[in-house]
Structure 1
Amino acid sequence: MPEFHIEEMSGEVVIARHTTRAADAKSALRGVIGGRISLRAGQQHWFRVVDERKASVHEFGVEETAQRKDFAK
């Protein structure tokens, strides 16, 4: 399996780095953070995934679920 370099970003600042092996970029990120992944759409907190074997860079965000408010008392 190819190796992927994952950078966790806050805006344009790298806040963490990870390296992992996976079948593809999305699987690599899922293995590091879990959760639901989407293409980046302007999020402040996002992930850059680099596949040096294919010389490609992918940008992903994390899908945020709406907070459900329980009004029952």
Structure 2
Amino acid sequence: MPIYEFRCGDCQLQFETLVRNSSETVTCKHCSSTNLKKLISAHSVTKGSPDTACGTAPCSPAPACGSGGCCPGLN
């Protein structure tokens, strides 16, 4: 279930909300308006490097890492 950012066209409030499905009606948290614009959001950025999935040695090359046992301290 993705979290989307919106800006209200009526009161200009910018907020995030969880959208469970595409048919769900989203309303402004401040004024209850449906005059909303979905904003482009940056995805979270990790500390990983492009060479390994978790960014620390001795990880396997991406995408093999992720089984939960290759990166000490990250499990």
Superposition TM-score tier, normalisation by shorter sequence: 0.3 to 0.5
State TM-score, norm by structure 2: 0.34
Instruction: Return the structure number with greater relative CO, CA threshold 8 A, min gap 6.
Output: 1
The structure where helix makes up a greater share of residues is 1
Name the one with the larger strand percent: 1
Answer with 1 or 2: which has the greater Rg. Answer: 2
TM-score norm. by structure 1 comes to 0.35
